[in-house]
Amino acid sequence: MTGELSPIDKAKFVAAKRAADFVEDGMRVGLGTGSTAAWLVRCLGEMVRDEGLKIKGVPTSTRTAELARDVGIDVISLDEARWLDLTIDGADEFDGDLNLIKGGGGALLQEKIVATASDQMVVIADIGKEVETLGNFPLPVEVIPFGWQTTQALIEETLISMDVLGRSATLRMNGDTPFITDEGNHILDLHLNRIGNARQLALVINQMPGVVENGLFIDICDTVVIGYGDGRVELR
């Protein structure tokens, strides 16, 4: 499954493989989105095929759903599952309190809904994702297409009034056209540099009309499995 991996891919793979140990027979498992989560899905597929592991998987994007089906995982919707034992997902940044920035892959809305419906969220990440303070990675905010420029202006004004360091919000593009999420929305990436009060910012952003959800995951993650390029793994 792995062949010759670059150090970064090895770090993602070993984190995913270790996190697969959290999965037990009969569990309903939220399946994250992104390159690290894709390793997890492949690992679980192998366990289903070779070890007879029986799980139901709830994917957080159409991409993950496709991969999960391809590797033989029994895929169900969140409404069929209702609640989940565990979600395993990647992250763009995590800090010492296990708060996260997610949404680099544009799946933050489904990812947050699925993680919140889970008894436990395990994040898998290479060591490069660890930060002292969140915010160097642009914060993704999912907004509805109607009036998105007005929403963008409102967000920028609010950032100024909150005295946040970086204040620009850019529309995520997919080539020449706006990126469209699985829910048919746009993504604004907020270039903040440093988020002093992530909890407050998450609440303020989500109160704005036009905003669907933001990529700050506060008090949602229980464990981070960190992978290193030399194959070491560490749990936080």
Query: Is residue 88 helix, strand or coil?
Result: strand
Q: Which of 10, 33, 195, 202 binds ligand 5RP (CB under 6 A)?
A: 33
Query: Is residue 129 helix, strand or coil?
Result: helix
> Tokens representing 52?
């007879």
Question: Considering beta carbons, is residue 32 or 138 the nearer one to ligand 5RP?
Answer: 32
Cβ 84 vs Cβ 28: under 8 Å: yes
Residue 22 CA to residue 199 CA, distance in Å, equals: 28
Query: Is residue 36 a known part of a binding site?
Result: yes
Query: Is residue 104 a known part of a binding site?
Result: yes
Query: Is residue 102 a known part of a binding site?
Result: yes
Residue 196 CA to residue 204 CA, distance in Å, equals: 13
Query: Is residue 129 a known part of a binding site?
Result: yes
Query: Is residue 90 a known part of a binding site?
Result: yes
Cβ 72 vs Cβ 48: under 8 Å: yes
Within 99-158, the residues that bind ligand 5RP by CB under 6 A are: 102-108, 111
Instruction: Tally the residues of the chain.
Output: 236
Question: Considering beta carbons, is residue 36 or 151 the nearer one to ligand 5RP?
Answer: 36
229 φ, ψ (degrees, to nearest 5): -60, -25
Based on the residue annotation, tell me whether 111 is a catalytic residue of this protein. yes
Catalytic residue among 46, 51, 93, 111: 111
CB of 161 to ligand 5RP, least distance (A): 28
DSSP class of 231: S
Q: Which of 92, 93, 189, 213 binds ligand 5RP (CB under 6 A)?
A: 92
Residue 137 CA to residue 49 CA, distance in Å, equals: 37
Within 72-91, the residues that bind ligand 5RP by CB under 6 A are: 89-91
Q: State the residues that interact with ligand 5RP by CB under 6 A.
A: 32-37, 89-92, 102-108, 111
Residues tagged in the binding site annotation for substrate: 33-36, 89-92, 102-105, 129
| Residue positions forming the annotated binding site | 33-36, 89-92, 102-105, 129
Catalytic residue IDs:
111
